[in-house]
Structure 1
């Protein structure tokens, strides 16, 4: 009986000798790798309370659903914002953008330009954050503000999303001030 099942013992010895795990490979088994969702030729309409608020155009989009859910526009984006009568009120352009879904924050960079068509105001900057929860735009870098009657620039800006209130940390430029507005 011992001679007939010798191969079982040899096979057991081979299995014991062959079992060696690479700890990095074992740890990688538990990790999930997820490729982003990808879309081309984006033409999206955004509404709030049943009313159209904006139209987003982008040639390419990536959506990541990992720890920080985000939508990335790596090849530029253009957004038209509408008033209650569906007239374009303002325009936003940037070469790169990220929307952080869970935080309601937007980060824009590379030739950011915002134009308010009603007030004839334009803001140029290299990067810009938009906190949709608070309704504020901000940047820590160089910014140019062009209003209908004045232009100024500076480093660092905070502004309400309607740009009625714009605060520069360090400003320079030409401001037109009424005599009754001087201290």
Structure 2
């Protein structure tokens, strides 16, 4: 009788031990995140000067006094809360410059979202004014669906959006709601 009780006790202990071993999981990534809030940046940098390249050619140069790194998020991004200036270069190294009050760079999609007093000056001195402008780094494309004013040579166009390549050879104001031709 004692041998049977001992055998039953050993079996129960073995079952509990095996259950504990197989119920454990590798959650090292979760442990690393303890104490790190997703609402706070994982890093802060000052006086940023980021250069984006494609096949050895500089395609964009982004400068800002401050960058907040949120790469600890499931959808990582970098935030530029205190103004941003970005130069875009076409394949002929012609430079267009964009300034904005604020920007976010989304790492996974390659989109740069610039907001607040956005001014774009092309290499040909065409000028776009908008409250928001996106730059798709992968396609080298600029676009917005917010109201814009676009000055090109002697024309001033107002519309409800903008779409263009970085060379401005395919620039178009969407849903034009006013235009003016200035005689020089």
TM-score, with structure 1 as normaliser: 0.70
1:41 is aligned to 47
Name 2:21's counterpart in structure 1.
none
The 10-residue stretch of structure 1 (164-173 or 93-102) with the greater mean CA deviation from structure 2: 164-173
2:156 corresponds, among 151, 157, 176, to: 151
1:39-69 Cα distance to aligned partner (Å, 9 max, x none): 0011233322122333221000011111111
1:174 and 2:180 aligned: yes
CA distance in 2, matches of 1:135, 1:82: 9
Equivalent of residue 93 in structure 1, options 86, 90, 99 = 99
Q: Is the 8 A contact 2:150 2:173 kept in 1?
A: no
Give the SS at the match of 1:170: coil
Aligned pair count reads: 146
Could you list the runs of 5+ residues in structure 2 that have no partner in the other structure?
1-29
Deviation at 1:134, TM superposition (A): 3.8
RMSD: 2.4
Q: State how 1:104-143 maps to structure 2 within 5 Å.
A: 104-117=110-123, 119-143=124-148
Cα distance change on mapping 1:147 and 1:155 into 2, 3 Å: same
Q: Which has the higher strand share?
A: 1
Instruction: Give distance in 2, aligned partners of 1:78 and 1:136.
Output: 17
2:160·2:173 contact (CA, 8 Å) conserved in 1?
no
The residue number in structure 1 matching 2:79 is: 72
Q: Give the whole-Å Cα distance in 2 for the aligned partners of 1:133 and 1:51.
A: 13
Pair 1:169–1:123, CA change in 2 (3 A): same
Instruction: Name 1:6's counterpart in structure 2.
Output: none
